[in-house]
Chain A
Amino acid sequence: MSNKIPRVPVREQNPKIRITNFNEVSYGYSLYEAVLEASRCLNCKEPRCMKSCPVSIKIPAFINQVLQKNFTEAYKIISQDSLLPAVCGRVCPQEAQCEGSCILGTKGEPVAIGKLERFVADWSRENSVKFTSKATLNGIKVAVIGSGPSGLTCATDLAKIGYSVTIFESLHKAGGVLIYGIPEFRLPKQDVVEKELENVKSLGIKIETNVIVGRTVTIDELMSNEGFKAVFVGIGAGLPKFMGVPGENLNGVFSANEFLTRNNLMRAFDPDSDTPIYKGRHVCVVGGGNVAIDSARTALRLGSKVTIVYRRSEKELPARLEEVQHAKEEGIDFQFLSEPVQLLGNEQGWVNGVRCVQIKLGEPDESGRRSPVPVENSEFMIDTDAVIVALGTRTNSIVASTTPGLVTDSRGRIVVDENGATKRDGIFAGGDIVTGSATVILAMGEGRKAAKAIDNYLKNK
Chain B
Amino acid sequence: MFRIIKKEELTPLVYLMELKADRIASSAMPGQFLIVRPSENGERIPLTICDYNRGKGSVTIVTQIVGVSSDKICKLAVGDSFTDVVGPLGRPSAFVKLTDEEIKKLSYVFVAGGVGAAPVYPQAKYLHERGAKVDVILGARNKNLLVMEEEMKKVCDNLYICTDDGSKGEKGVVTVILERLLSGGKQYSMGVAIGPMIMMKFVTISAKKFRLPLTVSLNTQMVDGTGMCGACRVSVGGKTKFACVDGPEFNAYDVDFEEAMRRQTIYRPQELEADREAGLEFGVKK
Contact = CB atoms under 8 A, between A and B. Distances in A.
B81 to A, nearest CB: 12
A276 B267 contact: yes
Contacts of A396: 226-228
Given A238-B228, A396-B227, A249 B263 contact: yes
A180 B69 CA distance: 21
Contacts of A239: 227-228
A398 interface: yes
A266 B223 contact: yes
A278 B267 contact: yes
A242 B233 CA distance: 11
A251 B267 CA distance: 10
B194 interface: no
B263 to A, nearest CB: 6
B31 to A, nearest CB: 13
A172 B229 contact: no
Interface string A212-249: 10011100000000000000000000111010000011
B86 A278 contact: no
Interface residues of B, number: 40
Contacts of A251: 262-263, 265-266
A interface bracket (residues with beta carbon within 8 Å of B): 35 or more
Given A242-B230, A396-B228, A276 B270 contact: yes
A66 to B, nearest CB: 39
A215 B224 contact: no
Contacts of B271: 276
B229 A258 contact: yes
Interface in A240-268: 240, 242, 248-249, 251-252, 254-255, 257-258, 261-262, 266-267
Contacts of A262: 223
- Which 4 residue pairs spanning A and B have beta carbons closest together? A258-B229, A276-B270, A172-B84, A210-B86
23 contacts: A170-B226, A171-B224, A172-B84, A211-B23, A212-B89, A212-B226, A216-B87, A217-B23, A238-B228, A249-B233, A249-B240, A249-B259, A254-B231, A255-B230, A257-B228, A258-B223, A258-B229, A258-B231, A261-B224, A261-B229, A266-B43, A266-B223, A398-B227
Interface of A: 170-172, 209-212, 215-217, 238-240, 242, 248-249, 251-252, 254-255, 257-258, 261-262, 266-267, 270, 272-276, 278, 348-349, 396, 398
Given A240-B229, A273-B41, 15 more contacts: A170-B226, A210-B85, A210-B86, A215-B89, A216-B23, A240-B230, A255-B230, A257-B229, A258-B231, A266-B44, A272-B41, A276-B267, A276-B274, A349-B262, A398-B226
